[in-house]
Structure 1
Amino acid sequence: MATRHLYLVRHGAADAFGELTEAGRRQSALLGERLAGVPIDTVWHSPLPRATASAEILGAHLPGAAVREAAELVDHVPHVPDEIPPAWAGFFDGYDAAEAAAGARIAAELVERFARPADTETHEVLVTHAYPVAWLVRHALDAPPARWLGLDCGNAALTVIEHRTGLAPTLVVYNDMSHLPAELRWTGFGPGARP
């Protein structure tokens, strides 16, 4: 039975203009070193500069892997709940119906393209953003749509999902930062104590 291995990655740390920082470049290189032993076929990336740069750095460590853009990996809000939890009211303030519909459309396209089995064994890296990673994990777990709100991931953290025909997706690992030294972990999160 062929397995589609998806290695979901949030881009490396970026500055306020969306460009990778030195820390983000280091994070991406270390993740590339970690994945170098995996037979990666393709590194797909969001069209945004921070994801493109992260993918190019990863690709330099993965000989033979194609590095390609996938519009579905763009940063977007995949789902706006009908009843917004009070803690999230500020986050969704200002989202109108058209923006919500556009985000839902991109989320559906993301799932259709990547969250399904392939005809042959594949190993694909998806360099994207926190929200698409959360959406794909939520989808793999068959959780309610609003559940993506509680799933966060760090910069250059690794999440692995496997898709096989006739079986539910397998979440192998979520938000793994073991390839990063302590000073490069937990970037992309808000303030707080971290293990």
Structure 2
Amino acid sequence: MATRHLYVVRHGAADAFGELTDVGRRQSELLGERLAALPIDTVWHSPLPRAVRCAQIVGERAGVAVREAAELVDHVPHVPDDIPPAWAGFFDGYDASEAAAGARIADALIARFARPADVETHEVLVTHAYPVAWLVRHALDAPPARWLGLSCGNTALTAIEYRVGLAPTLLVYNDMSHLPAELRWTGFGPGVRP
């Protein structure tokens, strides 16, 4: 039975202009070294510069082709009808057309990547925090609003497998073991980290 192995990552740490920082480049290099041990077929990336550069670095280290996938762009995948009070400020100003556009991108992401393949594949998706959360929520068959709060660190690895006739298998979520302590937990707000 063919398995689609997805290795989903948030891009490396970036500056306010969307370019990788020195930390982000180092995170990307270390991720690429980790993934080089796997039989990666393709590294897909969002069209945004921070994801493009991260994917290029990973592809160089892993020695594989790098391709763009518009579905991986940073977007809000779902706006709940009843917004939790803690998220009210985040959604302030979202209108119905923006919510619908985000939902269309989320549906396209799932349709393209969250399904079994005809042949065994190992694909890296370099994307952003919200699409990672949406793919994890989907793999767990959780309600749409559960993507909220599923944060992930820069270059943290999430692995999901898809097989015909079976529910998706979430193998790893937010794994930063390829990063030394000083490079972990970037992309998160302040707080205690394990």
Question: Would you say same fold, with TM above 0.5?
Answer: yes
Aligned partner of 1:58 in structure 2 is 58
Question: SS in structure 2 opposite 1:4?
Answer: strand
**What pairs with 1:88-99 in structure 2 (closer than 5 Å)?**
88-99=87-98
Unaligned runs of 5+ in 1: none
Aligned partner of 1:118 in structure 2 is 117
Does 2:27 align with 1:27? yes
Does 2:181 align with 1:177? no
Identity, in percent, stands at 85
Q: Which amino acid aligns with 2:61?
A: H
How much has 1:17 moved relative to structure 2?
A: 0.5
Q: Which runs of 4+ in 1 moved over 4 A?
A: none
Q: Give deviations 1:40-79, integer Å, cap 9, x for gaps.
A: 000000000000000000001112x210000000000000
Q: Give deviations 1:117-158, integer Å, cap 9, x for gaps.
A: 000000000000000000000000000000000211000000
**What pairs with 1:63-142 in structure 2 (closer than 5 Å)?**
63=63, 65-142=64-141
Q: Give deviations 1:85-127, integer Å, cap 9, x for gaps.
A: 0000000000000000000000000000000000000000000
Aligned partner of 1:145 in structure 2 is 144
Does 2:187 align with 1:188? yes
- Normalising to structure 2: TM-score of the pair? 0.99
Unaligned runs of 5+ in 2: none
Q: Which amino acid aligns with 1:50?
A: R
- Normalising to structure 1: TM-score of the pair? 0.99
- Aligned pairs, number: 194
**What pairs with 1:38-49 in structure 2 (closer than 5 Å)?**
38-49=38-49
Aligned partner of 1:4 in structure 2 is 4
Q: How many Å separate the matches in 2 of 1:17 and 1:93? A: 23
Q: Which amino acid aligns with 1:62?
A: A
Q: Give deviations 1:3-27, integer Å, cap 9, x for gaps.
A: 0000000000000010000000000
